[in-house]
Structure 1
Amino acid sequence: MAVLSRGDIEKIFTMEEAIQADKDALEFYSRGGSTVPLRTNIDVAEEKGQSLYMPAYVGGAKALGVKIVSVYPNNIEKGLTSVPATMVLLNPETGEVGALLDGTYLTQLRTGAVAGAATDILARKDAKVFALFGTGGQAESQLEAVLTVRNIEEVRVFDISKERTEDFVQRMGEKYAKKFNVKIMAVSNADEAIEHADIITAVTTAKKPVFNGKGVKKGAHINGVGSYTPDMQEIDEYILLHADKIYVDTRHGVLSESGDFIIPMEKNKFKEESITGELGEIIMGKVPSRDNDEEITFFKTVGSGVLDVVTSRRIYEKALENNAGQIIEF
């Protein structure tokens, strides 16, 4: 059994590979080639914690596994991460555990990659300006993914904390500015961030929209990443009502979990029929993609177990090829 840390994964698996893995995973899902049971949530009341189990199986990718994610807010007081995660990958032919992966990094990688996949498919080819809302744990992979699929010249970063924004911009500048020949800068308000922006990604925990949808320019592509509960709404309803095309990673996931959709639907402002399709349906040719450079496109992701198992399977295969990680036997 292989044990793969974040460092092991970073050495052998690129963002390009993660983006392709996510594209393949969502195509398998949209074709009906996966089994994704509802996640199991166990409350641990005495510790004020929760333990979540997210299984999935994708036959065409030979990918079977379960991601275990715990939410323990009090861990911060113990000097531990508040959301530890581990990915357990199984051999679908034998049922044996084949690998354990750093689930926290896997989540960051596949979440950045799915927005990167949507950007690659939907954003204008000549996109140059990228606006990023949020500087938390998911923000770096969102930045890297967009820089990977488009020749961005300027990144504008905005967060409600000026201190966090400036720290993030400094760290990302050191890591990516030279590599991608891009200027990464902090901005003081949301309007400044989206002005003439070709690509906009929101990855926040906001319960109110983080930018004014009326300020989005024609031809822009928007990724909504952060709203994963019914009471979270980081995307302006104006976007849902006026975007030319709207896509999701999975209909069931988005309509069950994301306040970006649930809130306007409860107000009878938005209907499920207004969703153009799943990203996997574009890949399989079932629904149209962007038709022209003037369309505003919007992609919403809440994540899915298919992304975890397919990406971890690809990582595991690369690890075997490169003799990466540690091998343990019971």
Structure 2
Amino acid sequence: MLMLTKQDIKKIFSMKDAIEADKEALRIYSEGKSTVPLRAKIDIPKELGQSLFMPAYVEELDAIGIKIVSVFPNNITLGKPSVPAKMVLMNGKTGEVLAMIDGTYLTQLRTGAVQGAATDILARKDAKIGALYGTGGQASGQLEAMINVRKLEEVKVFDIDFERAKKFAAQMQEELAHYFTKIIAVEDSNMALIDADIITAVTTSKKPVFDGTLVKKGAHVNGVGAYTPEMQELPESIVVNADKIFFDTAEGVLAEAGDLIIPLEKGLVSKNDFDGELGKVILGEVKGRESEKEITLFKTVGTAVLDVVTAHKIYQKALKHHVGQHVEI
């Protein structure tokens, strides 16, 4: 079994690699060539915690995997991560465990990359200005994905805590300096929207984080953070005004994403207003952006297929470059 840490992955697997892996995963999912059982959840009342088990099988790659993610808020007092995660990759031909991979970094990478895939496919080619809402654990991957697929001159970052936004912007300016994008923190959420060509929200907010009526024609919007029926980071106005709306998986979004569930329940939109899965666009079965003036919207809640395909690609590169630690059990 190969053990791969965050540092191991960063040596061999770039954001561009992850974006291409996610495009492949979305295509496989939309073709119906993967098996994704419902995730299992175990509540741990004693610790106010919960453990989630997310399995998938991808026949095309002979890959099986299960990501184990736990949410234990009391870990902070112990000096441990509150959301520890590990990815177990298995051989689809033999059932043997091939690798144990840092699941926290894998999640950050593939979640940033799925937005990057959508932005690459749907955003205008001449996009110059970006807006990012939220500076939590997923934000750095989201920011890098945006500037990886488009040569953005500037990205404006907003967080409800301005000091945190400033700290994040300064850190990212240093870490992502090789992209030559100016990253600045703004105090007002709507200031970030000024001239924004690409807008990404990655928060757990239960109320919209920006004014959808200020989104300009031709913009592309990504909703990444809200993953329960109660969360709603995207304003209803942008859902109503978007010319095209795409999902990572229709099943997941329509079951879990308050961003779409709430306006659906209010009758502001219907399922007929949705254009379908991004994988169908990749397959050429559904049209993506058709004009420079269209507002496109992408909503993701994640799927274990993204984890398995990305983990498989990481494993293959790790073997090729002799990275990681082999463990006999």
Deviation at residue 62 of structure 1 after TM alignment: 2.3
Query: 2:242 maps to what in 1?
Result: 243
Alpha-carbon distance, 1:304 to partner: 0.2
TM, length-normalised to structure 2:
0.99
Q: Which amino acid aligns with 2:64?
A: L
SS in 2 for 1:201: strand
Report the equivalent of 2:273. Answer: 274
Deviation at 1:28?
Answer: 0.3
Match of 2:325 in 1: 326
Q: Structure 1 runs of 4+ off > 6 angstroms? A: none
Instruction: Note the residue ranges of structure 2 that are not aligned, 5 or more in a row.
Output: none
CA deviation after TM superposition for structure 1 residue 273, in Å? 1.9
Identity of aligned residues (%): 60
CA separation in 1, counterparts of 2:35 and 2:119? 26
CA–CA separation in structure 2 for the residues paired with 1:63 and 1:297: 33
Query: By how many angstroms is 1:272 displaced?
Result: 1.6
Q: 1:217 is matched with which residue? A: 216
1:198 maps to what in 2? 197
Letter in 2 for 1:260: D
Alignment of structure 1 residues 245-264 onto 2, 5 Å: 245-264=244-263
SS at match of 1:184: strand
- TM-superposed CA distance for 1:60, in Å, is 1.1
Which residue of structure 1 lines up, in the alignment, with residue 52 of structure 2?
52
Output the CA distance in 1 between the equivalents of 2:189 and 2:166. Answer: 15
Q: What per-residue deviation string (whole Å, max 9, x for no partner) do you get for residues 221-280 of structure 1? A: 000000101100000011111100000000000011110011111112222221101000
Determine the C-alpha separation between the residues in 2 that align with 1:62 and 1:220. 39
**Within 2, Cα distance between the matches of 1:34 and 1:154?**
38
Structure 1 letter corresponding to 2:179: F
1:69 counterpart SS class = strand
Measured in 1, the distance between the counterparts of 2:218 and 2:264 equals 25
Query: What's the counterpart of residue 207 of structure 2?
Result: 208
1:90 equivalent to 2:90? Answer yes
Matches within 5 A, 1:297-308: 297-308=296-307
Query: Residue 101 of structure 1 corresponds to which residue in structure 2?
Result: 101
After superposition, residues 1-330 of structure 1 pair within 5 angstroms as 1-177=1-177, 179-330=178-329
Cα-to-partner distance string for 1:294-318 (whole Å, 9 max, x where unaligned): 0000000000000000000000000
SS at match of 1:160: coil
Aligned residues: 329
Letter of the 1:62 counterpart = D
Deviation, 1:130, is 0.4
Secondary structure of 2:35's match?
coil
How far apart, in 2, do the equivalents of 1:62 and 1:298 lie? 33
Output the TM-score relative to the length of structure 1.
0.99
Q: Deviations over 1:87-109 (max 9, x none)?
A: 00000010000000000000000
* Amino acid in the other structure paired with 1:273: N
Give, in angstroms, the shift of residue 61 of structure 1.
Answer: 2.4
